[in-house]
Amino acid sequence: MKLVKSILVTGCILAVLALPLAGGVGIASAENLLTNPGFETGDLTGWLVFGQSPNSSVTVLTGDNGPSAPGTHNAFLDNQGEALALVLKQSTPAGSGIPGAVLYSFDLKLDQADVGGVLFVNIFAEQANGGVIGGSGLMGPFWPWNGWTTYSGSFQAPANTDFLTIQIEAVTGANVDSSCRAHADNVVLDQGTVLAEEMSWSGIKSLYR
């Protein structure tokens, strides 16, 4: 019995010593809850669009990509309609949200925002029936002129959170020639970032006391 226990402990020591090569003890890992976050399918799979009109649309473009993840595609929100909110939206699956920290990030690039045009992002924590119970608040306006900028942050999802929703909003003013033309990419909503405590040395020792 002592020999078996000694072998197990030795094996655990070797495993812990090897952890820095694989990322280290207590390193956080992320899990994106969104589908097609970088638009690398070449289309808007997983996303919904609201506010389309003859003068407003969302398309997926190739040949350009936000800086926070590899790829070749991005979503282009082209709103040249008057007094209109063009919205690119996705909700995570039912039951995917939990109370606690929500980490988010996204890449934005602004081509044009004239006569009242503004670019916003909003993230909601929602309960099972779809009612909003918390969120990031309206973030922006953002002004990443002519170059990609990565934005990130966090907020606390309250009790009864069932799923999360993110909206990227290109909004125009009630003026002739108002416009908001912007790119979005590499959108992340993450509630799966945890320290690998079960792999810590103190946790391993406790298994063999």
pLDDT (tens digit, 0 to 9) for every residue of the chain, 209 residues total? 444 444 444 444 444 344 434 334 444 456 999 999 999 999 999 999 999 999 999 999 999 999 999 999 999 999 999 999 999 999 999 999 999 999 999 999 999 999 999 999 999 999 998 899 999 999 999 999 989 999 999 999 999 999 999 999 999 999 999 999 999 999 999 998 544 444 444 443 443 44
CA dist., res. 92 & res. 113, Å (int): 29
Taking alpha carbons only, the member of 47, 122, 51, 39 closest to residue 80 is: 51
Q: Report d(CA 27, CA 23) in Å as an integer.
A: 6
Interstrand relation of 118-126 and 132-135 (parallel, antiparallel or unpaired): antiparallel
Which one of 3.30.1330.10, 1.10.510.10, 2.170.190.11, 2.60.120.260 gives the CATH number of domain 30-193? Answer: 2.60.120.260
